[in-house]
Amino acid sequence: MHIHILGICGTFMGGVAALAREAGHTVTGCDAGVYPPMSDQLRALGIELIEGFGTEQLSLQPDMYVVGNVVSRQHLEDGTPKFPLMEAILDQGLPYTSGPQWLSEHVLQGRHVLAVAGTHGKTTTTSMLAWILECTGLTPGFLVGGVPLDFGVSARLGQQATGQERPLFVIEADEYDTAFFDKRSKFVHYRPRTAVLNNLEFDHADIFADLAAIERQFHHLIRTVPASGRVVFNGIEQALVRVLHQGCWSEQRSFGAAVSDFTAEGVHHAFDVMQQGKKVGRVEWALSGEHNQLNALAAIAAAEHVGVSPAVAAEALGRFHNVKRRMELCGSVAGIAVYDDFAHHPTAIRTTLDGLRQRVGQQQRILAVFEPRSNTMKLGTMKAQLPWSLKEADLAFCHTAGLDWNAAQALTDLGEAAFTSDNVDTVVAQVMEHVRPGDQIVCMSNGGFAGIHGKLLAALQYKFATA
């Protein structure tokens, strides 16, 4: 089959492309501003990438157009369509489908799917679970919304079906909508036998009216889990409790809360795994923060459902190396570390900074450099939470380009510790004016942040190495 993917450079659609190519399909694709790292990965796989969404691509004559949710029916001010290729596909009645639907029909069918959902921690927990299964020789397939350092790729097919055996596939289960023609959450297409509900709070204000609307989608996911399946959920989260109270027909395992099936005892970088009050394993690793401890419990509970003992899973996590862009160290100069992190929701920002504070203590300063880039943050829906999210930062630097609300006003509670600018180079200059040896600089964005990490390291080298 020849598939042509519209919006191929997104993390999810790029993963679909890689899986299709590995399965032997012919894959081509297009995107606006074809960009790395996904463009580099796809070209390395021999996948042809085309810039833009022009109608000349109809000449490729694929068997199926696979449409990413970046594509819409939007028209520009002059009346021309923003995605002319999609308009031509509709006009000519050509075959098209969504990425999740194609994945469901051509990759996930006949597999034991382990799906990891939640507002935060999906990528990390999915990577943990895939790594546990890999360490036990189960060779899972996976699709992760990032690049796990232990695998070096975001997606692979894994072990193929043999006889009656169901090969395993671990997938990051996103609640964002599927496509412009399918407004259901992506994850309803995955039909998991093991579903992880990591946490749940309001997000994606551009498509969801309130938290209840997201809870409804999560319950749609639960409805697809068979009676022989397992739902693993965070017992601390009241929103998830409400979701389960709407009905659950599968085995349940909780984690996190004091009375949960799986709990942890000890500090975040070295803790005992407790199952119904009995020690069943121990995790010792380089990761920090309560959030990663909870992620670990979720992964251990999910792995148990496919036969991996908690003790074996805990030992495997001791060799886990996290995911790119999750507190990834970019470099250091004069004892000043520069980290890259994907955090963009206020809760994720707070969690990232809390984890770093626990690691470095009060002796080192934390400089938070961030941009409110997600659709929800651009709308200003959660601007009031920003001062709370930055509580552990000694100084905060906000890149304000593209915002329709006043970031400086939103950060007023931080007083002289907050700085704003709509220019990345100015943000770098602001940081250079205040940085001191030993500081920890955390750059947080769900985008490329205009290469600010490299710019900071170059500026630090100039300021301190040439001083």
Q: How many CA atoms lie within 13 A of 27 on its CB side?
A: 27
Which tokens sit at 419?
Answer: 């700085």
| 53, 30 contact by CB (below 8 A) | yes
Does the annotation list 376 as a binding residue?
Answer: no
CA distance 253 to 124: 20
In 3D space, the residue among 366, 374, 313 whose CA is nearest the CA of residue 348 turns out to be 374
Per-residue pLDDT tens, the chain, 467 aa: give them: 999 999 998 889 999 999 999 999 999 999 997 766 677 888 888 998 999 999 999 999 999 999 999 999 999 989 999 999 999 999 999 999 999 999 999 999 999 999 999 988 899 999 999 999 999 999 999 999 888 888 988 899 998 766 557 899 999 999 989 999 999 999 999 999 999 999 898 877 777 888 899 999 999 999 999 999 999 999 999 999 999 999 999 999 999 988 899 999 998 889 999 999 999 999 999 888 888 999 999 999 999 999 999 999 999 999 998 877 778 889 999 899 999 988 878 888 998 898 889 888 888 999 999 998 877 777 787 888 899 999 999 999 999 998 888 989 999 999 999 999 999 999 999 999 999 999 999 999 987 788 899 999 999 998 887 65
pLDDT of residue 43: 86
Helix (H) or strand (E) holding 256, with range, is: none
The architecture (CATH level 2) of 328-465 comes to Alpha-Beta Complex (3.90)
pLDDT of residue 161: 66
CA distance 144 to 323: 10
CA distance 419 to 354: 20
pLDDT of residue 10: 86
CA distance 310 to 312: 5
Does the annotation list 123 as a binding residue?
Answer: yes
pLDDT of residue 51: 93
Does the annotation list 281 as a binding residue?
Answer: no
Give the global pTM.
0.83
Domain boundaries, the chain: 2-98, 110-317, 328-465
Count of residues in the chain = 467
Estimate the crossing angle of helix 424-434 against helix 452-460, to 10 degrees. 40
CATH of domain 110-317: 3.40.1190.10
In 3D space, the residue among 3, 213, 204, 232 whose CA is nearest the CA of residue 98 turns out to be 3
CA distance 245 to 448: 40
Sort 24 into a burial class: Cβ within 10 Å, 0-12 / 13-18 / 19+. Answer: exposed
Does the annotation list 121 as a binding residue?
Answer: yes
Estimate the crossing angle of helix 290-304 against helix 122-135, to 10 degrees. 50
Q: Do 110-317 and 328-465 share a fold?
A: no
In 3D space, the residue among 70, 73, 61 whose CA is nearest the CA of residue 13 turns out to be 70
CA distance 432 to 127: 35
Give backbone dihedrals phi and psi of 300, rounded to 5 degrees, phi first.
-65, -45
| 364, 438 contact by CB (below 8 A) | yes
Domain 2-98 has CATH 3.40.50.720: yes
Does the annotation list 75 as a binding residue?
Answer: no
Distances in Å between the Cα of 25 and the Cα atoms of 9, 64, 94, 250 are: 18, 11, 19, 35
Does the annotation list 124 as a binding residue?
Answer: yes
Does the annotation list 454 as a binding residue?
Answer: no
| 229, 302 contact by CB (below 8 A) | no
Which tokens sit at 144?
Answer: 């992760």
pLDDT of residue 147: 83
DSSP character string of 206-268 = TT-SSHHHHHHHHHHHHHTS-TTSEEEEETT-HHHHHHHHT---SEEEEESSTTSSEEEEEET
Q: Give the chain's largest Cα–Cα span.
A: 68
CA distance 410 to 403: 12
